[in-house]
Amino acid sequence: MLKTSIWMLLAFASALMPALAWAAPRLEKAIFAGGCFWCMQPPFEKIAGVTEVLSGYIGGTGANPTYENYAAYGYVEAVAVTFDPKKVTYEQLLEVFWQQIDPTDAGGQFVDKGPQYRSAIFYLTSGQKQAAETSKAALAKSGRFNRPLVTEVLPATVFYPAEAYHQDYHKKNPVSYNNYRSHAGRDQFLQKIWERDKKPTASAPLSCPLPGQKLSPRQFAVTQKNGTEPAFNNEYWNNHREGIYVDIVSGEVLFSSNDKYDSGTGWPSFSRPLESENLVEVPDHSLTSPRTEVRSKTGNSHLGHVFPDGPRPTGLRYCMNSAALRFIPKDDLEKAGYGKYRKDFK
C-alpha cells in the first residue's frame, strides 16, 4: 500500500512539473559596462521586470579576477541584469544604459579613467547583438552627441560577480556612495544631455515601466507643473491597503504603506521613504515661508514636500500628492515587477 502511494505521488509530481515550468517566468540576462559599477546598479534595479542586478568583471583573461587585479588582466567593471522580457524588453534596457554613460569617451567614464572603466555592451545572443548595434546607430544618427560614439558592442565572455561588499554599495554605504556620485561628474553630464527628454506632455505616453499609460490633466499639472491637488479630494489620502507607492511617471519605488500615517492634512503622508535614493530634495521659496520640495530622481516628477513635524522616529512628514503616485497592492507586487518588496508585508 505504501509503495503504491509513493508511486502515485511521483506520478502526480511528474504531471505537475510541466505546468510549473510553464508558469515560471522565462528570465534573460543583459550585461552592460558603464564605468563604476556602483553607479550602474541603481538605475536598472528601479525598472519593473528586473529581478537582479549584479556588479562584476568581464572581458579579461584568467579566471576569478578580484578588485585588486581585474584591471591588470584586462577586465572591465560591468553589471549583469536579469530581467523578465514579458515586463521589460532588452531594447528598453538599452535605452536605460545609454542614459547612464558618456558613449563618446574612450578613456573611461567621467572621473574614472582607464580601460577598466570603458563603456561596452556585451551581447549574449545574436538578437541582443542586432538590437545593440541598431540602438547605437540610432543614437549616433540622432545628433544628440557632437562626437563619435565609441561604446563597443562585444560578445559576452564569462561574467565574474564582484566581491560582496561591492553589491548594492549604494544601499550599504549611502554616505560614501552619494559623496562619490556627487563629485564624479556623471549626474551633471547626464542632466545636461537628457534632461530635456524627461518630462512627458499631457497626452504623450509615459516611459518604461508604464508603457502606454497617459497622464491625466491632474497628474500632468502636479508632476510637471509643480501643482498641488485638493486636500481630502485625492485618491490615496485615506488609502489603508498594504503595498508600495511608485512614481506615476517613471515607476521608481518611493514609499511603503508600512510608513504611511494619517497626518490629518488630507494628503497621503509618510514618515520616511522606502527608497531614499529615488528622492531629490530641493529648496522651495515659492511661498512666504521656505519649504523643501520632494521630486523623483529619474522621473523628475514633483511629488510634494517634506516637513519636520512628523512622528517618531524620523520626525518627518513626507506630504505627497496622490496624482504623482501609483499604488501597487502587496498581492500585485510580483505581477507588477516589484516582487522583492513582497517580503515587507505579512
The Cα-based distances of 100 to 42, 289, 311 in angstroms read 10, 36, 37
What's the whole-number mean pLDDT along residues 323-340? 92
Question: Rounded to 10 degrees, what is the CA torsion of 138, 144, 146, 149?
Answer: -40
What is d(CA 326, CA 296) in angstroms, rounded to the nearest whole number?
13
pLDDT at residue 87, rounded to an integer:
85
Every domain of the chain and the residues it spans = 28-196, 217-344
Q: Tell me the average pLDDT of the chain.
A: 87
Our answer to whether residue 208 is catalytic in this structure is no
| β-bridge partners, 51 | none
Contact indicator for 74, 61 with CB cutoff of 8 Å: yes
- Please give the pLDDT value at position 23: 52
What per-residue confidence (pLDDT) applies to 210?
Answer: 46
Q: Could you give the CA distance from residue 321 to residue 12 in angstroms, rounded to a whole number?
A: 51
The phi-psi region of residue 234 (left if phi > 0; otherwise alpha if psi is between -120 and 50; otherwise beta) is beta
Considering the four listed CATH numbers 3.40.50.300, 3.30.420.40, 3.40.50.720, 2.170.150.20, the one that applies to the domain covering 217-344 is 2.170.150.20
Quote the pTM value. Answer: 0.57
Q: Annotated catalytic residue: which of 31, 33, 36, 248?
A: 36
**Best CA proximity match to 32, nearest among 74, 86, 95:** 95
Q: Which of 25-39, 173-187, 216-230 has the lowest mean pLDDT?
A: 173-187
Q: What percent of the chain has pLDDT over 70?
A: 88
**Residue 12 confidence class, pLDDT cut points 50, 70, 90:** low
CA-to-CA separations, 18 to 21, 292, 335, in angstroms, rounded: 5, 54, 21
**pLDDT band per the 50, 70, 90 thresholds, residue 41:** very high
Q: What helix, strand, coil percent values describe the chain, rounded to 5? A: 35, 25, 40
- Closest listed residue to residue 153, CA positions, set 172, 180, 126, 129: 129
C-alpha cell at 320: 505627497
Indicate which residue of 76, 80, 319, 333 is catalytic: 319
When pLDDT is cut at 50, 70 and 90, the band that residue 256 belongs to is very high
Highest mean pLDDT (candidates 123-127, 143-147, 333-337):
123-127
N-to-C CA span, the chain: 40
* pLDDT of the residue at 14: 53
Q: Which three cell numbers stand for residue 26?
A: 522565462
Quick: pLDDT tens for 113-141.
999 999 999 999 999 999 999 999 999 99
Cell numbers for 67, please give them. Answer: 578588485
Per-residue pLDDT, 15? 53
- Mean pLDDT, residues 189-205: 59
Using the structure block, give the residue that is written with the C-alpha cell 520640495: 293
Q: For position 181, what pLDDT does the model report? A: 85
Which residues are within 8 A (CB) of 130 and not within 5 positions of it... i.e. 6 or more apart? none
CATH superfamily entry for domain 28-196: Peptide methionine sulphoxide reductase MsrA (3.30.1060.10)
Q: Is 76 helix (H, G, I), strand (E, B) or coil?
A: strand
**Residue 208, pLDDT score:** 37
Is 39 among the residues known to form the active site? no
Q: What is the mean pLDDT of residues 254-264?
A: 96
Statement: residue 104 has pLDDT above 50: yes
